[in-house]
Amino acid sequence: HRRFDYRPKTDPYCQARYTFCPTGSAIPVMKEEDVIEVYRLQAPVWEFKYGDLLGHLKIMHDAVGFKSSLTGKNYTMEWYELFQLGNCTFPHLRPGMDAPFWCNQGAACFYEGIDDAHWKANGTLVLVTTISGTMFNEMAQWVKYDNETGIYYETWTVQASPDKKSTVWFDSYECSKFILRTYQKLADLGAVFKKIQTNYTSIILFSGEPVYLGNETSIFGPQGNKTLAAAIRDFYSPFKPHQSVREFFVDLFKIIDRVFLNHQFYLFYNLEYWFLPMKSPYLKIIYEEVPLPVGSKASFGV
């Protein structure tokens, strides 16, 4: 996943149904001698609206919690879409604009408190490691860098087949990937993780070798490829600016239908368009184990 020099300003056209990070705060500086517990948090996506429905599909949202032993304060850190999932997954076709218009950014959100009931009810709240205040402060610097340079949300993982060792053409970049990067950073700083099973959701498309098509200018600009531009617009045409999760799923199934019938998918990744020659089983939601990391340097715990 490509890193960018800065985060672009958001276009006023992009409106979020739910405010991004409404109670967010700056990450505090911890005292070096503090001992901070680190918690793995996981619960079904959109649980506040649909109960455990998506838990049965194992579509989970991941976060990380911290508890300071010096102050007793709890904190939650997560990474998610600025304009909700539909906007990160599909573009808007706006009147008078040739190119599909993307409202796609993801970012980290940090706030005081851990909503124990939310994470425990249908999910997970479990201690994974303990770190020092110094390690927490170093992690906070890394979060700032990660947040300023990894700006686009990517829903799909694209790989050649369901086989474990299959080629991964494109990797997703979403909430769980941020948590995995955070754990890895802590491990590299010396955190020692407990030996517990940790599973994550991936939404995978299966495709033959992707074909590079170009960027917005080369396809939709004045010298662009009119036939290709029309094909991409047509592919995305079932999607409307999403008002509800239910409508998002209706649209999603329309596009899945096209994928199954025509074996085609147009992917927008790192500001470039790719054609995916889709193949069976086309799409899978998997919930599989990703082990907690081992540090890159010898460490002796805290």
Under DSSP, the state recorded for 208 is S
| Token code pair at residue 281 | 């089983």
Nearest-angstrom CA–CA distance, 84 and 49: 14
| Token code pair at residue 168 | 């991964």
Per-residue b/e over 228-250, b at no fewer than 16 CB within 10 Å? bbeebbebbeebebbeebeebee
Q: Is 92 annotated in the active site?
A: no
| Token code pair at residue 3 | 């890193």
| Token code pair at residue 172 | 């997703």
Give the orientation angle of helix 133-149 with respect to helix 175-189, to 10 degrees.
140
Place of tokens 């086309």: 282
Which of these is catalytic: 88, 92, 175, 242? 175
Q: Are 187 and 296 in contact (CB under 8 A)?
A: yes
Nearest-angstrom CA–CA distance, 120 and 44: 11
Place of tokens 């998002």: 248
H helices then E strands: how many in the chain?
Answer: 9, 11
Place of tokens 């799909």: 156
Which of these is catalytic: 21, 61, 103, 118? 61
Q: Is 61 annotated in the active site?
A: yes
Handedness of CA 124, 127, 132, 133 (dihedral sign): positive
What residues are labeled active site?
A: 61, 175
